[in-house]
A and B are shown apart, each in its own frame.
Chain A
C-alpha cells in the first residue's frame, strides 16, 4: 500500500523522511494546502469578522461564513447555521452540557454514557449528574470492546434524558452502531449525543443521515489546524439552549439590566472567533473530499488488516477492539507480553516510530480492561505499508530486548 495522500503534501513529514508517524488519532499532520489557507486569510482578509463596515471586515466575515458552509457540507449538514464553532470536541461537549444539560437535566433524571468514552465525553456528563443530582449510568462492553447493546437497553430507563456515545473509539478503534444507539435514545425521548472526534476524520459522515441530536468534532484530527472544531446540534434543541458564554458578538441588544441574544449560530459564539482556523479547516475538508472519504476508509482498513496480520505473526501481542476490520477504524491498540506499554513507546521511539502509550484519556475503559495503558498505533491518509513494517519490526526488537536471556 502506498500512501493515499503524497507525503510531500505534508511539510513536517516531507522534512523528516524517516519519521514513522503513527499517532494520527492524537492529532493529524497538516497538508500545505491547510497551512496556506490559514496564512492567506491573515495576508488577504484579516480584520475582525462581523465588526466593521469596511471592506476587509466584510471579507473576513465572508471567509468565516463560507468556511462554516464548507465544513457543514463535509459533515453532511444541510442547515449550516446549526454548526457552531468551538475550539474542538472538548469545548463542544462542555458547551452542550452547560447550555442544554444544565437547563434540561434535573434531579432524578438519568444520563447514560458508555465505557468506551474519551474523558471529553465522560467527565462533563458525570459532573453534570453530580451537580444536579441525576443518575449516571455506564453501558458496559463486550469482550472485544464493543458496546453491549443489551446492557445499554437495560440501563436506558424512561427517565433517561441523554445517551452520550462516541462514533469511533480513540482508544481501541471500535466503530459504534450509531443508528441503533439513536433509536434506543429516541425510544425514550432522550437526546442522542455523538462524540465524532474520531468519526469525522476517518469515515464518510452525514450527520443529518445519522439522525443524532448533536455531533462534536475536532479540526486538528482531520488535517485541520489546532484550536478549531465544532458541534452540530439539531435546530429544535439549539433553540431551547441557554448561551454558553456571554460577551461580544452573541448579543442582540444589551440593556442596563437585561440582554437579548443574537440569532443562530452567533448566540453560541461569544467573542472574536478563530476565523483563520475555520478557513484552514475548510481547506482540510477540500483536501479530504478530493481524496474521497470512502477511499480514506478503504485505505485505513487495508492498513489495520496488514498490521493485525503481521503482529499476530510475530506472536506475544494482544490486539484490543473488534477483530474484524469492518468494525474498527484506523487504530491498532495492543499489549506486548512482558513489555510495559511505556517501555514499548520509548523503544519504538528509538526506532523513529511514534506511537502513543497511555490510557488514551479513557481511564474508565482501562479499568475495565485491567490495564494501566496500551500501545496505540493509528493511521491516516499519509500512512503506508512501510509504516506498518516499521511498527512490526520495532515491536519485534522491543520483544527481543525484554526477552529472558
Chain B
C-alpha cells in the first residue's frame, strides 16, 4: 500500500468523524434498531432509526470500532437523516458499489461527504469495516430489532 492510498483512506474527514462522531447516542423513541458485528476484528455497533411515514426522521448509532467503521457510521447517519426509505436504499446500493468495487469503483458526486469512504476500495481487508453501519441501517429499516453480520 502506498502512502497516497493511506492518505486517501485516512483523509481528514474520516479522522474528524472518528474523533467526533455525529449522532452518537441511543434513540429511545426509535422505531427500528439493529446491531452490527464484524467477527473478524470485534467491531460492534447499534443503529437506531425513527421513521415517520416514509421519512427517516432520526438515525443514531453507538458502539466501538476502528476509525473506518466509526467514521462510516457517523457519515451514514448524517447522510440518511431526512431521506425517504427509497432514497436511503439507493444510497446503500451506491455506497456498497463504491466500497466493494475495488480501486476504480465509481464515487458519484451525489454521495456528498460519504464519498470520503471511496478510499476503502483499495483496501479489501477493510471493506467490512466500512459497510458494517450501512448493513445495520438496512436491517434497522426492515425490522424492529435483531443482529446483522457482515459475514
Interface residues of A (CB under 8 A from B): 340-343, 346-347, 349-350, 357-359, 366, 371-373, 401-402, 404
With A340-B65, A350-B6 as known contacts, state yes or no: A404 contacts B41, CB within 8 Å: no
Contact present for B126 and A373 (CB under 8 Å): no
Q: Are B44 and A372 in contact (CB under 8 A)?
A: yes
Contacts of A343 in B (CB 8 A): 10, 66-68
A350-B2, A372-B44 given; A340·B66 CB < 8 A: yes
On chain B, the residues within 8 Å of A404 by CB distance are 19
The distance from the CB of B130 to the nearest CB of chain A, in whole angstroms, is 12
A346 cross-chain contacts in B, Cβ below 8 A: 1, 6, 9, 123, 125-126
Residues of B within 8 A of A350 (CB): 1-3, 5-6
Instruction: State in angstroms the CA–CA spacing of A368 and B103 once bound together.
Output: 39
Assuming the A-B contacts A346-B123, A349-B1, A372-B64, are A358 and B42 also in contact, with contact meaning beta carbons closer than 8 angstroms in the complex?
Answer: yes
Chain B residues whose C-beta falls within 8 Å of the C-beta of A372 in the assembled complex: 41-44, 64-65
Let me know if B136 is at the binding interface, CB within 8 A: no
Say whether B15 faces chain A, with CB atoms less than 8 Å apart.
yes
Interface membership of B139, Cβ < 8 A: no
Contact, CB under 8 Å: B41 / A373: yes
- Tell me, in angstroms, the Cα distance from A347 to B19 when the chains sit together: 18
| Residues of chain A lying within 8 A (CB to CB) of residue B2 | 350
- The distance in angstroms between the C-alpha atoms of A316 and B42, with both chains bound, is 22
Question: Per-residue 0/1 for B48-83: is the Cβ within 8 Å of any A Cβ (1 yes, 0 no)?
Answer: 000000000000000011111000000000000000
B86 within 8 Å of A (CB atoms): no
Which A-B residue pairs are the 5 nearest by beta carbons? A372-B42, A340-B66, A342-B66, A350-B1, A350-B6
Shortest C-beta distance, B22 to chain A (Å), equals 18
Say which residue of B5, B42, B123 sits within 8 Å of A366 (CB atoms).
B42
Least distance between B46 CB and chain A CB atoms (Å)? 15
What residues of chain B have their CB less than 8 Å away from a CB belonging to chain A? 1-3, 5-6, 9-10, 15, 19, 40-44, 64-68, 123, 125-126, 129
| Chief secondary structure at chain A's binding surface | helix
CB proximity of A366 to chain B, nearest CB, Å = 7
Partner of A358, one of B1, B41, B129: B41
How far is it, in angstroms, between the C-alpha of A372 and the C-alpha of B40 when the chains are bound?
A: 10
| Chain A residue at minimum C-beta to C-beta distance from B3 | A350
Residues in B neighbouring A341, C-beta threshold 8 A: 41, 66
A129 to B40: give the CA distance in the assembly, Å.
26
A343 to B9 Cα, complex, angstroms: 10
Residue of B1, B2, B42, B65 with most partner-chain A CB within 10 A: B42
Assess the A373–B42 pair: CB atoms within 8 A: yes
Tell me whether B40 and A401 are in contact (CB under 8 A). Answer: no
Given contact pairs A350-B5, A357-B41, A372-B42, a sample of 4 additional A-B residue pairs in the complex whose CB atoms are under 8 Å apart:
A342-B129, A346-B1, A346-B6, A371-B42
| Bound: A71/B40 CA distance, A | 34
- Cβ contact within 8 Å between B19 and A358: no
Nearest-CB residue, chain B, relative to A339:
B67
**30 A–B contacts, CB within 8 A, in A order:** A340-B65, A340-B66, A341-B66, A342-B41, A342-B43, A342-B68, A342-B129, A343-B10, A343-B66, A346-B1, A346-B6, A346-B123, A347-B6, A350-B1, A350-B2, A350-B3, A350-B5, A357-B41, A358-B41, A359-B41, A366-B42, A372-B41, A372-B42, A372-B44, A372-B64, A372-B65, A373-B42, A401-B6, A401-B15, A404-B19
Residues of A within 8 A of B9 (CB): 346
Chain B residues in 8 Å Cβ range of A342: 41, 43, 65-66, 68, 126, 129
A341 to B126, CA, bound (A): 12
List A contacts of B126 (CB < 8 A): 342, 346
The minimal Cβ–Cβ distance linking A278 to chain B, given in whole angstroms, is 32
Closest to B65 in A: A340
- Among A346, A359, A402, A404, chain B packs the most CB atoms within 10 A around the CB of A346
Residue on B with the closest CB to A401? B10
In whole angstroms, what is the CA distance A358 to B65 when docked?
Answer: 12
- How many whole Å from A13's CB to the nearest CB in chain B? 19
**Contact B44–A340 (Cβ < 8 Å):** no
CB distance from B50 to the nearest CB of A (A): 28
Separation in Å of the B36 CB from the closest CB of chain A?
13
CA distance A340 to B68 in the complex (A): 10
In the bound complex, how far is the Cα of B40 from the Cα of A346, in angstroms?
Answer: 14
Smallest CB gap from B42: residue in A: A372
Known contacts A346-B123, A404-B19; A358/B40 CB under 8 A: yes
Chain A residue nearest in CB terms to B9: A346
A163 CA / B40 CA spacing, docked (Å): 29
A55 to B2, CA, bound (A): 55
Question: Which residues of the other chain, A, contact B3 by a CB distance below 8 angstroms?
Answer: 350
**Residue ID in chain A nearest B15 by CB atoms:** A402
* Residues from chain A with Cβ under 8 Å of B129 in the complex: 342
Name B12's closest neighbour in chain A (CB-CB).
A405
**CA of A162 to CA of B11, assembled, Å:** 52
Nearest CB in chain A to that of B40: its residue: A358
- Closest A residue, CB atoms, query B19: A404
